[in-house]
Amino acid sequence: MNFEQTDDHRMLTDSLLRLLTDACDAKTRNVTAYAAPFHSPDLWSKLADLGVFYALADPAQGGFGGAGFDITTIFQALGKALCPEPVLPTLMAARLLTHAGADLGPLLSGAVHYAVAVGELDSWSLDEIETTARNGTLTGRKSVVYGGAVAEKILVIARDGAELSLFEIASADAEVIPYAMIDGGGAAEVFLDATPARLLLENAGAAVQDALDAAALALSAESLGAMDVTRDTLVDYLKQRRQFGRPIGSNQALQHRAVELVTEIEQVRSIVILAASRMGTDSQTRTVSMCKHLAGRVARRVAEEAIQMHGGIAMTWEAPVSHYVKRLVMIDSQFGDTDYHIKRVMEGLQAT
């Protein structure tokens, strides 16, 4: 397997990182991420102008990417900058609209914000969805809808009889309660009460699973980007922080702990590459679950070690590492934590 980026991906990474370095520095990011509308319309426009959203869809749908490595390239860069922009729901919407054969133009140009409503109050498992469709309307409640705070359109997964179907609603027709997530960025609770809806796709279970797989891969890549920055920050701190007349990094125990983190982060990098290569294959879902499980487990360890080896300063708002730690821990909870995904892998092995 070739671990090197293609020239196109390398150019996209460089351009995106330059943009995020200028427009999403730590201070600007923290102001944006925790105050309504929980993102920057100006940065969103710049991402659209750069063509980031077009890289999330294949050429047949008007994009120029859509493959696993396009996803990981974008989200690893977003993770490095802790960018709070709602790109994740854009990715999921692109996958779902592609399966539905719908027009992706407004989504890919950034002109229309989309959110994807899957999870409900007690669970986001597809087997436990209770939102119902009847006579062109939807009734139910969707919880933790990422990007719902700014979305004009919401793609809703609802039960149409015994099957799951994909519907589109205008957010103005539903009761949408926005809020900031604990690690920054916006989500919303969406209440549906005979809300007018347009059916996009019947029997949408496979399409929804594909969107969830893409989201899990994206989150794993995002955590990898955040882990890279956290590691570099920690190593730099160990070299500069002095006690008893010498850098604390000269302590052999701390050196060993730092090396172990580097090794585990590289394992995550390898499985992210593997999962990206298997998007669109029969082993997509299983490999993505393996990836999300390992990324979540390692991210939590990186977060804990960064706090312990930094000391009290890592708990302060002013220290950028504290915000990376929060994001690393919370990524594990999005679209299935480590326990959920290892269970999926084990069930797949049993089925074979």
The tens digit of pLDDT for each residue in 340-352 reads: 999 989 987 665 4
Residues 223 and 328 in one domain: yes
Within a domain: 326:
yes
Within a domain: 318:
yes
Q: How far is the first Cα of the chain from the last one, in angstroms, to the nearest whole number?
A: 25
Residues 193 and 282 in one domain: no
Q: Containing domain of residue 12, as a range? A: 7-108
Residue 2 scores a pLDDT above 70 = no
Pairing mode, strands 186-196 and 175-180: antiparallel
Residue 352 has a pLDDT of: 41
Summary mean pLDDT of the chain: 93
**Helix (H) / strand (E) containing 134:** strand 132-134
Within a domain: 141:
yes
Boundary-marking domain end, from 108, 141, 159:
108
Cα–Cα distance, 190 to 143 (Å, whole number): 6
Residues 346 and 245 in one domain: yes
Neighbours of 147 (CB within 10 A): 26
Q: Label residue 7 by pLDDT band (50, 70, 90).
A: confident
Half-sphere exposure at residue 294, Cβ-oriented, CA atoms within 13 angstroms: 22
Angle at 193 between CA 192 and CA 199, to 5 degrees: 65
Cα–Cα distance, 271 to 9 (Å, whole number): 18
**What's the pTM?**
0.95
b/e sequence 294-303, b meaning 16+ C-beta within 10 Å? bbbbbbbbbb
Residue 314 has a pLDDT of: 85
Separation in Å, CA 44 to CA 38, 96, 138, 211: 12, 21, 30, 22
**What's the pLDDT tens digit per position in 105-162?**
999 999 999 999 999 987 767 888 999 999 999 999 999 999 999 999 999 999 998 8
Residues 45 and 175 in one domain: no
Boundary-marking domain end, from 148, 177, 204:
204
Within a domain: 2:
no
**What's the pLDDT tens digit per position in 226-237?**
999 999 999 998
Residues 200 and 271 in one domain: no
Within a domain: 320:
yes
Q: Label residue 3 by pLDDT band (50, 70, 90).
A: low
Residues 247 and 296 in one domain: yes
Tell me the CATH number at 176: 2.40.110.10
Four-point Cα dihedral 213, 65, 56, 262, nearest 10: 60
Tell me the CATH number at 272: 1.20.140.10
Residues 254 and 333 in one domain: yes
Within a domain: 51:
yes
Residues 32 and 152 in one domain: no
> Looking at the 3D structure of the chain, how many domains does it have?
3
Residues 218 and 194 in one domain: no
Tell me the CATH number at 79: 1.10.540.10
Boundary-marking domain end, from 162, 179, 204:
204
Within a domain: 1:
no
Residues 191 and 260 in one domain: no
